[in-house]
Amino acid sequence: MLVFGSQMHLLTLVILILELMLLPFVLWYYYAWPKDKTRLWYFILLLLLIFYNLTGGLFPDPRIDALSIQVQNMIAYGSGFGMATFFPYYFYRSFQLQGLKFHAIYGAPLLLMLPYLVFFWLVYPLTGDLNLVITYGMVVPFFYSPVLLWAILRSIRQRFSDNSHLLYPYGPMEMRAVYWAVAPWVCMTGISYLRVAQWIEVLVTNSGFILITVLFMLRAVRTERMEKQRMMERDAVDLKLQADFRDNCRMYHLSKRECEVSELLCHGLTYREIAEHLFISESTVDAHVQRIFLKTGVNKKIDLQKTLGYGVLPEPGYSL
């Protein structure tokens, strides 16, 4: 069923709307922590998929005067080849599949994207024969696709055997889903060659993206949970360090001001910085340090840290 009198199938429109709704959330998620490059790669993947569904659904349409049928075909097929080329790179970086490095960086661009550029951007404008371009332009990608599928499966198996302890936040089930998620896109050459119905093409290719989305959300949840657990453990350690530090200060009969100076000194602050922090003079700081050293029986900052049980304390400024 086509919509709005265009070439776009209803299923394509529904999936496209869902992806556009997802886009701002993914963008916000990336800007919340841009150091996590996996979020950026997923955002790029989503943009490419939206472009693929949009161009694949609308093109070619003779009523679009701004673009010729030839240019529309070049764009529509290019979006599919672009997705198929980016998928191996996405899995290589996001899932740390080192066995895909060659295919992600060299193999897919050379054996998927390069044939597209040669036949669709050079041969097609010269001949104007789309059947000829599809017939011969798909030969190399068609034979490369099973090789790439095998490389993906082998890299997943290798990671299970060699680096199973590094799989977190993914488990065996999620890693197997990686293979099934990328398979439809690697088979894009066969789909394009057979010229299957638009709704079948959209359903097959987007099923892989649905799996990717599930894996992406699963990773986000598990990573957040792991980070929160680390923060809770760190807070517990910080509280214990603070308690030990306070107990040792009391044991050596340090005054409240001497405890404050000791804490800042153990944090590596200079006399001037301590003076500025506590709004006292440097000479007063020096006098406090001398009394602290006298009470604790040390004469070096590193010895003071050991004596007072100083570890990796949180930011200075706790209340005794």
Domain extent listing, the chain:
10-228, 252-320
Q: In terms of pLDDT, which residue wins out, 6 or 45?
A: 45
Q: Is 72 helix (H, G, I), strand (E, B) or coil?
A: helix
Which tens digit of pLDDT belongs to each residue from 275-294? 999 999 999 999 999 999 99
Ranges 66-70, 171-175, 304-308, most confident: 66-70
252-320 is classed in which CATH architecture? Orthogonal Bundle (1.10)
Which tens digit of pLDDT belongs to each residue from 183-216? 776 666 666 666 666 667 677 777 767 777 777 7
pLDDT confidence of residue 70: 94
pLDDT confidence of residue 117: 95
> CA–CA separation, 152 vs 175, rounded Å?
11
| Whether the model pTM is above 0.85 | no
User: In the predicted model, is pLDDT for residue 319 greater than 60?
Assistant: no
- Which helix (H) or strand (E) segment holds residue 153: the answer is helix 139-162
> CA–CA separation, 286 vs 122, rounded Å?
79
pLDDT confidence of residue 126: 94
Average pLDDT, the chain: 81
- 8 Å CB contact between 197 and 96: no
DSSP code, position 165:
G
DSSP string across 76-143: HHHHHHHHHHHHHHHHHHHTT-GGGHHIIIIIHIIIIIHHHHHIIIIIHHHH--HHHHHHHHTHHHHH
- 8 Å CB contact between 112 and 84: yes
pLDDT band at 104 (very low <50, low <70, confident <90, very high): very high
pLDDT confidence of residue 315: 46
Which tens digit of pLDDT belongs to each residue from 13-26? 888 888 888 888 88
pLDDT confidence of residue 280: 92
> CA–CA separation, 164 vs 243, rounded Å?
39
- 8 Å CB contact between 21 and 58: no
pLDDT band at 245 (very low <50, low <70, confident <90, very high): confident
